[in-house]
């Protein structure tokens, strides 16, 4: 009897692991849309637990108003909460904290 209960526990445990796997495989791509009338010259997306913005995701590129870009935020941590910072050609910066990239497919700056 004991080995049957152990087998049942192992099967249940494997089933729970199967439930956790899809969460780790969530799509972390987000379309960033710029509808502000200004060009985004820098864009940062950092894990909400980070203390700095790290690197400009756009690099040498820019995101003109009326355009969009798809960014893959998968940093291999499985983390879903990110902070965004957009820097515009007029020098203004917009920061949005706590964006759940596992649930948001599109983020629009207006």
Side-by-side strand order, sheet with 68-72: 68-72, 29-34, 106-109
Q: What single-letter DSSP state applies at residue 46?
A: E
Q: What is the pLDDT of residue 25?
A: 59
Question: In a structure prediction context, what are the per-residue pLDDT tens digits for the chain, which is 110 residues long?
Answer: 444 444 344 444 444 444 444 445 588 999 999 999 999 999 999 999 888 998 999 999 999 999 999 999 998 888 899 999 999 999 999 999 999 999 999 999 99
27-109 falls under which CATH superfamily? Domain of unknown function DUF5300 (2.60.40.2890)
Nearest in space to 32 (alpha carbons), one of 64, 79, 59, 80: 64
Q: How far apart are CA 59 and CA 82, in angstroms?
A: 19
């Amino acid at each position: 009897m004991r080995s049957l209960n152990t087998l049942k526990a192992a099967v249940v445990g494997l089933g729970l692991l199967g439930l956790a796997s899809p969460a780790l495989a969530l799509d972390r791509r987000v379309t960033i849309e710029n509808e502000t009338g200004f060009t985004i010259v820098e864009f940062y997306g950092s894990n909400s637990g980070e203390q700095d913005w790290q690197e400009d995701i756009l690099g040498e590129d820019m995101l003109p108003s009326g355009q969009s870009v798809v960014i893959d935020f998968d940093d291999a941590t499985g983390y879903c909460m990110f902070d965004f910072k957009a820097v515009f050609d007029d020098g203004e910066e917009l920061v949005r904290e706590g964006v759940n990239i596992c649930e948001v497919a599109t983020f629009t700056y207006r």
